């Protein structure tokens, strides 16, 4: 079954940066809005950034000004540049279309930010 493959997570200190990548191997979603979601321990999964097929972006208030989403077209990879990371950004990060497709969740990539 086709699923996205997320990568780029890791353990960093507060204030540092990470760049996440999401490869949509075997699938093409050129006309879909794409998004990065995250799920912190004990919390529901939330949408943190999205990008439309024509490049329009939206961000959750908690990451606005620090995170940047981008994509290549025709869609194969979606990126999330995360700057000035904070401990509250610690979560597993996933990519999916927007709104999400429940059969299209990947394994995610863990981001841990230490104080």
Residue-wise pLDDT for 3-18, tens only, equals 899 999 999 999 999 9
* pLDDT, mean over the chain: 92
Token pair of 111 as six digits: 């981001």
Phi, psi for residue 103 in degrees, rounded to 5: -90, 5
Write down the pLDDT at residue 69.
Answer: 97
pLDDT band at 112 (very low <50, low <70, confident <90, very high): very high
pLDDT band at 75 (very low <50, low <70, confident <90, very high): low
Cβ atoms within 10 Å, residue 35: 22
Write down the pLDDT at residue 74.
Answer: 65
pLDDT band at 27 (very low <50, low <70, confident <90, very high): low
Please report, rounded to a whole number, the percentage of residues in the chain having pLDDT higher than 90. 75
Report whether 29 contacts 75 (CB < 8 A): yes
pLDDT band at 37 (very low <50, low <70, confident <90, very high): very high
What is d(CA 81, CA 69) in angstroms, rounded to the nearest whole number? 6
Cβ neighbors of 71 (< 8 A, separation 6 or more) are 34, 51, 55, 77, 78, 79
What is d(CA 63, CA 48) in angstroms, rounded to the nearest whole number? 7
């Amino acid at each position: 079954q086709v699923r996205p493959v997320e990568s780029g997570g890791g353990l960093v200190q507060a204030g540092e940066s990470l760049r996440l990548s999401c490869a949509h191997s075997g699938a093409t979603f050129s006309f879909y809005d794409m998004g990065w979601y995250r799920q912190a321990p004990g919390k529901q999964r939330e949408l943190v950034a999205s990008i439309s097929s024509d490049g329009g972006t939206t961000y959750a208030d908690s990451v606005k000004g620090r995170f940047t989403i981008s994509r290549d077209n025709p869609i194969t990879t979606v990126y999330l540049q995360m700057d000035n990371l904070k401990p509250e950004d610690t979560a597993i990060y996933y990519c999916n279309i927007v709104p999400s497709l429940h059969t299209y969740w990947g394994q995610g990539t863990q981001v841990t930010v230490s104080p």
